[in-house]
Structure 1
Amino acid sequence: MKYILFIIITLTTTFSFSQEKDKAALLAAKKANNYVYEGNNLINEDDFVSAEKEYRKAISEQGTSVAGIYNLGSSYIKKGSFDEALYRLDEAAKISTSKAEKHKAYHNIGNVLMENKKCKEAVEAYKNALRNDPTDEETRYNLGLAKICADQQKDQQDDKDQDKKDDKKDQDKKEGDDKKDQDKKDEGDQDKKEGDDKKDDEGKPKDEKDDKGKGDEKEKQQQPQPRPGQMSPQQVKSLLEAMNNQEQKVQEKVNAEKQKGTKVKTEKDW
């Protein structure tokens, strides 16, 4: 009996707590909706600052208030704060439980990305929007524009990449040509230096002097060298010249004696 009574009390308490929780959730949702309503009115009056405050109140009352988050993101779009808009719209898309809400969030995300010239990312956003509502022709039209924009951006990027490659190729070629010119200049300077080093103080090539010396040495080597015990050609020549001189002296003496009438001895004395 006590056990049954305990169960009844527990169930009653749980039911009462659940009712209170539901009442609090309903009250929070009602307050959130009121704040969203006020925010929408302020947006229509172009009072973005006050509208932002009301939407934030709605989110504070009910963190899962898709309307509050979504409208806050939309207000950022009108204000031109695209980064904040993307953050809030992405948040709304994630917490949304209905396809209609997700479709609206992704559609607006695509619009913001197009404003930021992020066409490739916008294509994916519009595709997500169509996954949640394939019948929306406006989203389909925007997807087509995003694809065209993405293709153009890709072509432009490809052209830029090609221009960079061409510029680098031209730069490499120029550096190569400059290096070749410098190598030729260095080689010419080296040849000139070596040529100058080969000249003597009079400006004559050293090779000529060296060759001349080598020629004299070669000529000496080609002249016959006297063998031991023999006179050299120079010594023979000197001896012949001495003998001729002596013979000439004798002849002059003979001629002188003839003129005096003296008989010349033709034989040697013993």
Structure 2
Amino acid sequence: MRYLIVVILCSLVCPRLLAQEKSYIKKGNALYGEKKYKEAEDSYRKSVAKKGGNVEGNFNLGDALYKQKKFADAGAQFDKLAQSDGKNKMLTAQAYHNLGNSLLENKKLEESIEAYKKALLNNPKDDETRYNLAYAQEKLKKQQNKNNKDNKNNKDNKDQQKQDKNNKNDQNKDKKDQDKNQNKPDQDKKDQQKQQNPDKLSKDDAERMLDALNNDEKQTQEKLKNKKLKGAKLKIDKDW
């Protein structure tokens, strides 16, 4: 952060008013040196209470706000200074430098980089600003890499969740098919048994088949009996 600046003003304002402003700035500087930043802020605000105020009071007010970690308010203060004075390039460079610091602390990396670049345009020899610019650029690069990695991980997680869901659905379908196969109607079993074990004959059919078999047996026996009775035709040779 820049040190407090002291600017010698050439002004046509009333000497008494100018002296009062300087008194508030001097008091603010003393409080700032004692690290009483809130009291210093109040004193600087009094020094710039009149319309427009003075550059030194406004610049130091921004520093006091920055020290209190009021980075948004500090940034607004330095931005106003950077925009208001285009003639004094050194002052403009310092304002943009501090604006960059405020934005960086507020985690607005891209905006801080732009502020540092504008500071260097007004003062190309400022090594401190050049270092802060490189620091902000490196930090932004790491953040972008992290975001890309997080996005990839989120995509991978979503893909995995989708795959898990599909696998679960497949498992549920397989289970339903298995349960369906296990709970087939008894008719299927009966049909299977019917194929393996033909239906039993009715009593009448059984009796008819038994009669038929008996008749066949009688006929067969009769044929055998007749054959025996007839005997074989033998050639009898008489030996006399």
1:137 matched residue in structure 2: 127
Q: Select 2:38's aligned residue among 26, 39, 49.
A: 49
Task: Supply the AA of the counterpart residue of 1:53.
Answer: D
Change (3 A) 1:206 1:28: farther
**Considering only aligned residues, what root-mean-square deviation do their CA atoms show, in Å?**
3.2
Change (3 A) 1:208 1:140: closer
CA contact (8 A) 1:64 1:95 kept: no
1:190 Cα shift?
2.6
1:169 matched residue in structure 2: 159
Change (3 A) 1:114 1:63: same
Number of corresponding residues: 194
Question: Where does structure 2 lack aligned partners over 5 or more consecutive residues?
Answer: 1-10, 200-207, 216-240
Q: How does 1:4-153 map to 2 (within 5 A)?
A: 24=13, 28=17, 31-97=20-86, 98-153=88-143
Q: Distance in 1 between matches of 2:146 and 2:31?
A: 42
Task: Supply the AA of the counterpart residue of 1:95.
Answer: S
User: SS of 1:89's equivalent?
Assistant: helix
CA contact (8 A) 2:38 2:64 kept: no
Change (3 A) 1:208 1:163: closer
Change (3 A) 1:151 1:26: farther
Q: Distance in 1 between matches of 2:95 and 2:112?
A: 12
Task: Supply the AA of the counterpart residue of 1:164.
Answer: N
Q: Distance in 2 between matches of 1:186 and 1:166?
A: 30
1:208 Cα shift?
4.7
Higher mean C-alpha deviation, range 41-50 or range 171-180: 41-50
Task: Supply the AA of the counterpart residue of 2:123.
Answer: D
CA contact (8 A) 1:103 1:132 kept: yes
Change (3 A) 1:23 1:138: closer
CA contact (8 A) 1:58 1:68 kept: yes
1:118-160 CA-to-partner distances (Å, cap 9, x unmatched) read 4333211101111222221221121122212211121111111
Which of the pair has the greater relative contact order for Cα pairs under 8 Å at 6+ separation? 2
Task: Supply the AA of the counterpart residue of 1:171.
Answer: Q
CA contact (8 A) 2:47 2:53 kept: no
1:28 Cα shift?
4.8
Q: Distance in 1 between matches of 2:194 and 2:14?
A: 115
Change (3 A) 1:138 1:69: same
Task: Supply the AA of the counterpart residue of 2:111.
Answer: E
CA contact (8 A) 2:44 2:57 kept: yes
Q: Distance in 2 between matches of 1:134 and 1:162?
A: 40
Q: Distance in 1 between matches of 2:174 and 2:16?
A: 90
Task: Supply the AA of the counterpart residue of 1:111.
Answer: N
Q: Distance in 1 between matches of 2:82 and 2:16?
A: 24
CA contact (8 A) 2:72 2:103 kept: no
1:93 Cα shift?
2.1
Change (3 A) 1:207 1:88: same
User: SS of 1:205's equivalent?
Assistant: helix
Q: Distance in 2 between matches of 1:176 and 1:28?
A: 79
Q: Percent identity?
A: 32
1:207 matched residue in structure 2: 191
CA contact (8 A) 2:58 2:77 kept: yes
Q: Distance in 1 between matches of 2:54 and 2:16?
A: 13
Q: Distance in 2 between matches of 1:163 and 1:169?
A: 10
